[in-house]
Amino acid sequence: MSDIKYTSELTVTLEQQAGDDDFVVQTARVSTGLDQVAYALANTGKIKGLINYLMKKRHGSPFEHNIFTFRIEAPIFVAREAMRHRIASYNEVSGRYVQLEPKFYIYPDERPMKQQGSSAHPELVSHEDSEHHERSNARKRRVHDLAWEMYQEDIADGTALEAARDVLGVGIFTTWYVSMNARGLMNFLSLRVDAEGNAFETKPQYEIQVIAEQMSAFFAEAMPLTYAAFEKNGRVAP
């Protein structure tokens, strides 16, 4: 099983981005016929103030005229969580057409693993047993090793890829592209990042928050005024 890779690294890359803070203001000003007036975009203070006003009053449509496309590599169970957000476009690698890579997820030491509280409102905390992670990951490795062996045997026996893949669990890595505008991205981040300034409580799964925080960093760099207004107004999507 030397070809199998185990990792806790979840990666996000920004493949393309169009639109910026200025364009939010430009599209908003079309309502008063001033979208093509050069001075309307010249004053950073005015841009900041208008963006904050739009965010505060939840005038969301000016934030829709831009695009972010991310390429994400993460286990299937994280992809399925992400794809519940339907205000986005997705394309994912297909196990019908290509052999999936022997790359599986294991939990990093800092990942909370013990559940407490009710099933309706669970809270995950760090396990008091320092060796718990090691045992849990060892069990997952045994399952993944066997699943990968069966997958390879099935393919070698002439089974179609789409039929052979069903033995692989949701811990195997997948790759997908997701495109969304800034309004959709803020909706995603408001639910998938447990930040101190959140107006509404959210309890995202650890792995999807790792992904969301990487997306958030790209967003903050590309549209700093919009991101600042998002944070200032409780991280609520307009």
Judge whether 93 and 85 are in contact, CB under 8 Å.
no
3-state secondary structure of 71: strand
Give the residue among 84, 81, 86, 55 at the shortest CA–CA distance from 180: 86
First to last CA, the chain: 49
DSSP state of 97: T
CA distances from 173 to 66, 92, 131, 178 (A): 29, 11, 25, 16
Length of the chain: 238
Q: Is 135 a catalytic residue?
A: no
Longest dimension (CA), the chain: 69
Instruction: Identify the active-site residue in 165, 183, 192, 235.
Output: 192
Q: Which residues pair with 182 in a beta bridge?
A: none
Q: Can you tell me whether residue 17 is helix, strand or coil?
A: strand
- Which residue blocks in the chain are alpha helix, DSSP H? 21-29, 44-56, 76-82, 132-156, 161-164, 182-192, 206-222, 224-232
Catalytic residue numbers read: 192
